[in-house]
Amino acid sequence: MAAPHDSSPAAAVPSLPSLGGRRSSYRERVADALRAALIAGELLPGEVYSAPGLAARFGVSATPVREAMLDLAKEGLVDAVPNKGFRVTEVSDRQLDEYTHVRALIEIPTVVALTTTADPVSLEALRPAAREIVAAAVAGDLIAYVEADTRFHLGLLALAGNSHLVEVVRGLRGRARLYGLTALATSGRLLASAEEHLELLDALLARDERAVREVMTRHLGHVRGLWASAQE
pLDDT (tens digit, 9 = 90+) per residue, 86-103? 998 887 878 888 888 999
Amino acid at 222: H
Cβ atoms of 212 and 220 closer than 8 Å: no
pTM of the model: 0.73
Q: Which residues contact 183 (CB under 8 A, 6 or more apart)?
A: 230
Cα separation values, 60 from 25, 54, 226, 231, Å? 12, 9, 35, 34
Between 1.10.10.10, 1.25.40.420, 3.40.1360.10, 1.10.287.70, what CATH number should domain 4-88 receive? 1.10.10.10
Least confident of 55-59, 124-128, 149-153: 55-59
What's the pLDDT score for residue 223?
A: 67
What's the pLDDT score for residue 49?
A: 94
Between 3.30.110.30, 1.20.120.530, 3.30.420.40, 3.40.50.300, what CATH number should domain 93-230 receive? 1.20.120.530
User: For residue 81, is pLDDT > 90?
Assistant: yes
CATH 1.20.120.530 domain extents, the chain = 93-230
* Helix (H/G/I), strand (E/B), else coil: 78: strand
Rounded Cα gap, residues 92 and 222, in angstroms: 18
Amino acid at 211: A
Cβ atoms of 96 and 201 closer than 8 Å: no
- In this prediction, residues 19-24 reach a mean pLDDT of 46
CA atoms within 13 A on the CB side of 218: 14
- In this prediction, residues 29-45 reach a mean pLDDT of 77
What's the pLDDT score for residue 187?
A: 65
> ∠145-174-89 over CA atoms, to 5°?
115
Cβ atoms of 75 and 175 closer than 8 Å: yes
Q: Which residues contact 220 (CB under 8 A, 6 or more apart)?
A: 100, 103, 104, 107, 108
CATH 1.10.10.10 domain extents, the chain = 4-88
Rounded Cα gap, residues 230 and 132, in angstroms: 23
